[in-house]
Structure 1
């Protein structure tokens, strides 16, 4: 039996991402313009210097491709705000907002991501941080508008998985309130590097990824190197303000389906491996222990025969992208190897849980931890008692370990 569930894929590879482009793409996917606009408009009630906020939506064409352009029109007296003031406005609005808890948390996480980056760059605390472009009410309007659109598309309610491809940041230089700066802007770069989010530049002479855009992106999506297997769905195109000569200034966002077998679910992991022929077994054994302690998903050694008929050990570790650099450095430092190979793969696993069962052996009751593997329907495929508990029972009863395992297995499956 196969289950389908909705997923969202954000594709900022072509023209990067900004808050208004993301909002436009979500509206292009079918988010209710009226609901999103009314949510944004309410924000002006919490800002003394802002008389009104309006969401303007129009269709546009970039290099022959139709997209949705979302523009926040603010009637606001220009003022410089501190990070603390911007955060306070957001919190007051969210306290009285009808947005869901997940949507509210998303807004706050995106805002804090942005403010922490600015604070680090300027060597300041968030509350005292003097903001320039980021301090505009447009910033909060973008965050809240995107949250409202995601909520309207049921991204939070249905716990959709959201993926993002690497971000194109552009290239060249951009003019800011701090003068002419290299692309990506410092805040954009800080967010992407601190969140370990993949990005790349192109020779285009334009800033394509903004701090607000990447703050939203990194607070919502899991980075992937290529499109996950996706079925059907819709595509929304969000248009940027500029008309670029070389490329269509559009962000693509896809709503599709991910099909999963009931037996397992997949996750993207990385295999980190090296071959060594001059490292003793004790060192390799110590490395395996250290790798497991460091948080890899698995680590093992395969003996093989290499060049010049030398016996070599192929050391492998399975790890997440977040833990990959740590894993590589550990293998280098412990083995002294000259090279490490890394490649992505898909891992499918059964859902697992550990419970404690009571069993009777020779009229004596023992507690045994049992690892249970099941599919998404709840069907149990395996229930395996923990070895350490079996060993303890065998020691206390004087029975052979294999006999204890058989008896415990019978009783556990009955439970």
Structure 2
């Protein structure tokens, strides 16, 4: 099964994720009871009222968290919130996957604040995230995900709307997205976009939950048969769109995986083959999945080389800089593309050729637990060929026969 967390319009917050899971069918009583258990571990915080209600957000009926709390502290050390979450997770008997999810979500918040303010983790103070609300969002979501058995699904996030403009909080006024959001998403696979509002659409808690839940980010839905949909409403109302997080659960309809890659293209004129060859090697060694060179003719009959690079979104900027510095090109076209990938595994297989032992890495594609085909890394074929003083073609054949024999014995 696959779960899509669709935050590309209204972003994501902790209460929106929790509400969408309740809307999908998570046990409401279990979530509320778990939230009340947290009161024991966070002194000075009291849940006065908690429940879920249906609301209409710009034409979409969604579930909304109704919460009233009493707080006698305006700030707390982040580790107090962390200890409360971990103690509550142990007390209510969360599964190991749910417990790790809750632990890592609060750690993401802590690390973001630590990096921003240059303070050790044990000294970080929470302001906006210091109340029991944060605990409820994280513990409640962990309970609901556990209840719906979603931790075993492949979880995909769409690009995340973060909003724009400015926002004012305990550290003054800053541009949106705030530094905490940027820190949480930094070095993750998540893609962010501005969205349709000059207000905050994604909160630090929502961002922390998302990066620790999603396996990957994609601009496109996978091929799937829809089984259930959950709508979680945020507290704000916007003109022009529903402030609703949408989560969609479905059954994948084929064995292929869908992801999103970036395509970088540029035309190179008056450049030597040696420079192009060096450029290809350098791009591949720095994250390009593939590089293709196509000869062509441009304006005024000029010969050209069209360079096409496939890469992950996270590698786009570094490869663009490398392409410019290596070739001097004055412009690079960039576009996103979805692609289907045949699932494969890479295994190391010991083989013996001419009474010498080697270990080769092999990409294997299986279907119904049967090996459909395999491919040995060419660099390893070359090394073995050199060590045996054989041609690449002959070595490749001998390795393939050995690998086939080993795979058939497994």
Smaller-chain TM-score range?
0.7 to 0.9
Aligned position for 2:201: 208
Aligned position for 1:274: 266
Q: Is contact 1:41-1:54 (8 Å) kept?
A: no
Answering whether residue 362 of structure 2 is matched by residue 371 of structure 1, we say: yes
2:219 aligned to which of 225, 232, 248: 225
Task: Tell me: CA distance 1:77–1:350, structure 2 relative to 1, closer, same or farther (3 Å).
Answer: closer
Hey, what's the Cα distance between the residues in 2 that align with 1:384 and 1:207? Answer: 48
Answering whether residue 285 of structure 2 is matched by residue 285 of structure 1, we say: no
Aligned position for 1:323: 315
Task: Tell me: CA distance 1:314–1:92, structure 2 relative to 1, closer, same or farther (3 Å).
Answer: same
TM-score by length of 2: 0.86
Q: Which structure 1 segments of 5+ residues have no match?
A: 1-5
Q: Is contact 1:198-1:223 (8 Å) kept?
A: no
Answering whether residue 78 of structure 2 is matched by residue 83 of structure 1, we say: yes
Q: Deviations over 1:309-367 (max 9, x none)?
A: 33322222221111121111111111110111222231423514233243354xx3443
Task: Tell me: CA distance 1:390–1:67, structure 2 relative to 1, closer, same or farther (3 Å).
Answer: closer
What are the residue-to-residue correspondences of 1:32-181 with 2, within 5 Å? Answer: 32-52=27-47, 55-156=50-151, 158-169=152-163, 171-179=164-172, 181=174
Q: CA RMSD in A?
A: 2.9
TM-score by length of 1: 0.85
Q: Is contact 1:43-1:53 (8 Å) kept?
A: no
Q: Deviations over 1:7-61 (max 9, x none)?
A: 2222223333221111111100111112222222211121222345763111222
Hey, what's the Cα distance between the residues in 2 that align with 1:385 and 1:272? Answer: 28
Q: Following TM superposition, by how much is the alpha carbon of 1:107 offset from its aligned partner in structure 2, in angstroms?
A: 1.7
Task: Tell me: CA distance 1:190–1:53, structure 2 relative to 1, closer, same or farther (3 Å).
Answer: farther
1:312 aligned to which of 294, 304, 307: 304
Hey, what's the Cα distance between the residues in 1 that align with 2:382 and 2:326? Answer: 33
Task: Tell me: CA distance 1:67–1:405, structure 2 relative to 1, closer, same or farther (3 Å).
Answer: closer
Q: Deviations over 1:269-288 (max 9, x none)?
A: 22222210122112211111
Hey, what's the Cα distance between the residues in 1 that align with 2:248 and 2:150? Answer: 12
Deviates more, 1:179-188 or 1:235-244: 179-188
2:404 aligned to which of 386, 392, 413: 413
Q: Which structure 2 segments of 5+ residues have no match?
A: none
Answering whether residue 4 of structure 2 is matched by residue 12 of structure 1, we say: no
